[in-house]
Amino acid sequence: MIKSAILFILAGLAEIGGGYLIWLWLREGKHFVVGVTGGIILVLYGIIPTLQDYPAFGRVYAAYGGIFVVLSLLWGWGIDKKKPDRYDWIGALIALAGAAIIIWMPR
């Protein structure tokens, strides 16, 4: 379970970080190297979930979605200084509950 959580967090940081660098390049006029670096990080994001031990691609990505929601709110709060409100956190908790059900319920 620890390995799974670490991989979900790494995937989230890679997706958000890579996307953010591309955002900076295209939306805020940063140097193209920033965008290329973001693209490379996004490729790593595509690789990281394959290291999960779960056999079902769809379930891994669906469960990852809950983690992504929380990490996106934290990224926005820490990097963009946009503090999530209570509805953001309620939605994030619902997403996390769904992710836990999808990935950890016995089948």
Average pLDDT over residues 38-44: 98
How many Å apart are CA 86 and CA 96, to the nearest integer?
Answer: 15
- At residue 4, the pLDDT reads 85
pLDDT at 1 over 80: no
pLDDT for residue 89 is more than 90: yes
- The confidence band for 36, taking pLDDT boundaries of 50, 70 and 90, is very high
The model carries a pTM of: 0.83
**For 51-65, what is each residue's pLDDT tens digit?**
988 888 888 888 888
SS (H, E, C) the chain: CHHHHHHHHHHHHHHHHHHHHHHHHHHHCCCHHHHHHHHHHHHHHHHHHHHCCCCCHHHHHHHHHHHHHHHHHHHHHHCCCCCCCHHHHHHHHHHHHHHHHHHHCCC
